[in-house]
Amino acid sequence: MIHFTPSFYSVTMGLPLNPPADSARSARHALSLIATARPPAFITTIAKEVHRHNAAQANSQSQQNIHTTTLARAKTEILRVIDILIEKMPGDVVDLLVEVMDIIMYCIEGSLVKKKGLQECFPAICKFYMVGYCDRSHRIAVGARQGSVALYDVRTGKCQNIHGHKGPITAVSFAPDGRYLATYSSADSHISFWQMNTSLLGSIGMLNSAPQLRCIKTYQVPPVQPASPGSQNHLKLARLIWTSNRNVILMAHDGKEHRFMV
């Protein structure tokens, strides 16, 4: 992993650059080249560093090492590179969406996401139909290639994984009131509805508890095929649009609609 100096984050435009600033600019350029040359390697490496950092934080006896310090200082730059990869190589990113979200959740303060929402904090990731955010419950759902869904609680930073489909997740979306999560996979041609746990007071989830989900309904739907061959077509194959708290539309790329009720 590349090590950055503090001047890395205070490079100003204009010439001539002093030696530290010039080195920082070179390191910035090198990181972009490495990431775009091998996106999967970059994403998995950073995700492993994030997991290592989180594990160290969870262990009160652990001391911060140089890797943790470097990672913390590089948050802004890591997000910049992730943004570039989403823009230029979305096909590579979609295979590692959960790892990418792990990185984003580390780099952006949960309190900021809770206050402004994921769309405002990091709009690039919201381009994927496999990513959904609920303003009411402050949870993020990410559909994975293995048919599972990663559910993040922005308030606690915890993540719960649910296996719900037999193939890659094509789209996810929360109901407006946050009580239901819809997931769709074009691979198994099924749409599933998951109910969020609720407290006795009717609020979504319990404070500091892991969000519990249970599948309450599953429907088989007609297969949705890409308009033409190509690696990027599956990224915009279909999306889920809620018309009320209990009604959702599965809209295919060709405009065909399939309506469902929870």
Task: Give the pLDDT confidence score for residue 221 in this predicted structure.
Answer: 92
Task: Give the pLDDT confidence score for residue 157 in this predicted structure.
Answer: 85
pLDDT tens per residue across span 71-83: 888 899 999 999 9
Task: For residues 38 and 100, state if they share a domain.
Answer: yes
Task: Give the pLDDT confidence score for residue 15 in this predicted structure.
Answer: 59
Task: Give the pLDDT confidence score for residue 202 in this predicted structure.
Answer: 42
Distances, alpha carbon 212 to alpha carbons 152, 195, 198, 242, in Å: 11, 8, 9, 21
The low-confidence residues of the chain, meaning pLDDT below 50, are: 1-12, 66, 199-209
Task: Give the pLDDT confidence score for residue 223 in this predicted structure.
Answer: 86
Task: Give the pLDDT confidence score for residue 247 in this predicted structure.
Answer: 97
Q: How far is it, in rounded angstroms, from Cα 216 to Cα 200?
A: 20
Q: How far is it, in rounded angstroms, from Cα 153 to Cα 159?
A: 6
Task: For residues 95 and 138, state if they share a domain.
Answer: no
Domain count, the chain: 2
Task: For residues 131 and 250, state if they share a domain.
Answer: yes
Asked whether residue 115 is domain-assigned, the answer is: no
CATH number at residue 141: 2.130.10.10
Task: Give the pLDDT confidence score for residue 225 in this predicted structure.
Answer: 79
Asked whether residue 121 is domain-assigned, the answer is: no
Residue 101: domain span: 27-53+68-107
* Both tokens assigned to 52: 């290592």
Task: For residues 143 and 196, state if they share a domain.
Answer: yes
Task: For residues 137 and 255, state if they share a domain.
Answer: yes
Task: Give the pLDDT confidence score for residue 58 in this predicted structure.
Answer: 75
Task: Give the pLDDT confidence score for residue 20 in this predicted structure.
Answer: 66
Per the document, the length of the chain is 262
Task: For residues 141 and 234, state if they share a domain.
Answer: yes
Task: For residues 177 and 139, state if they share a domain.
Answer: yes
Stretch (H or E) spanning 148: strand 148-153
Considering the entire predicted model, what is its pTM? 0.82
Distances, alpha carbon 244 to alpha carbons 196, 247, 258, in Å: 16, 5, 15
Asked whether residue 15 is domain-assigned, the answer is: no
Stretch (H or E) spanning 173: strand 171-174
Task: For residues 142 and 246, state if they share a domain.
Answer: yes
Task: For residues 131 and 256, state if they share a domain.
Answer: yes
Asked whether residue 3 is domain-assigned, the answer is: no
Q: Is 226 helix (H, G, I), strand (E, B) or coil?
A: coil
Q: How far is it, in rounded angstroms, from Cα 109 to Cα 87?
A: 23
Task: Give the pLDDT confidence score for residue 17 in this predicted structure.
Answer: 67
